[in-house]
Amino acid sequence: MPGYSLRLFAVAGLLLLSAPLSHAAEANDPWPGLVQDIFNNRPMLDGSDVVSIEMPVRAEDAAIVPVTLRMKLPAGDSRQVQSITLVIDQNPAPMAAKFRLGPDAKVSEISTRVRVNNYTDVHAVAELSDGQLYMVKTYVKASGGCSAPAAKVADDAKSRLGQMRYRQFAKTGEGPISGAREAQIMIGHPNNSGLQMDQVTQLYTPALFINELRLSQDDSLVLSMEGGISISEDPNIRFTYVSNGAKRFRAEAKDTDGRVFQREWPIDNSGT
């Protein structure tokens, strides 16, 4: 009986200790506040049938963590995904990017690379044409991505500032002109987070990043992005869309210093 009493007291003590810890963990969860700040406290529905988010559970390099967003609406669904907001909860500026999808481009996949500063939940919130928000999340183990030194030296970064490259890829089994295809835009830009320290001067490098990107086939929007400090150095966006037979692909980017970078390329309608 005395042994039973000791065990009972021990269990009671653990319960008392765990209660405040549980409340503390809930209090430290930034997501409820982010829902208020970013989404104006709009209600969110389960988005597991709408969009998926793929990231490594443990990042190899916290400064360039790959993330892929895939649309999952079935072919017969009359709704459209209008935008997807990517939120890295524990980052200093949690809203990593907001992607707006062209109404006729049928974008089905978006991939990019992001900085992750702490172990964190990462949320993807899709807004559909029905006016509802749909949310999914994943968890990533990484740290220090926002303060990691730039991979390229300053002079090299300046010489490549605003340089753009475009690549296109045919989707297996799709037609050459009107079928789905993949494309990739790469922009030379340091995308400084403002948290990186110059190893020579020991001063913080001011924030400077691509905050607007618009991609179109002729004059028809394919994809636009509102970016933040969480997008990695040399932004790289790969996406899948449906060609409308356009002859030119256009990209326009702006950074936080007001610089505008523009370029266009002829579209190879063979899809290769």
Q: What is the mean pLDDT of residues 52-67?
A: 97
139 phi/psi in degrees, rounded to 5: -125, 135
Q: Are 256 and 209 in contact (CB under 8 A)?
A: yes
Average pLDDT on 138-150 reads: 95
Quote the percentage of the chain above a pLDDT of 70: 83
Confidence of residue 199 (pLDDT cuts 50, 70, 90): confident
Q: How far is residue 239's CA from residue 188's CA, in Å, rounded to a whole number? A: 18
pTM score: 0.86
User: What is the model's pLDDT at position 107?
Assistant: 97
Give yes or no for residue 134 having a pLDDT over 90: yes
Distance CA 153, CA 132 (A): 44
Instruction: Give the model confidence (pLDDT) of 1-39 as tens digits.
Output: 444 343 333 434 443 444 443 334 445 899 999 999 999
**How high is the mean pLDDT of the chain?**
87
State the pLDDT confidence band at 75, using cuts at 50, 70 and 90.
Answer: confident
> What is the average pLDDT across 162-166?
96
State residue 7's pLDDT score: 39
How would residue 179 be classed by pLDDT, with cut points 50, 70 and 90? confident
| Closest to 86 in 3D by CA, of 142, 25, 38 | 38
* Cα 209 to Cα 257: distance, rounded to the nearest angstrom: 8
Angle at 255 between CA 253 and CA 261, to 5 degrees: 35
pLDDT at 101 over 70: yes
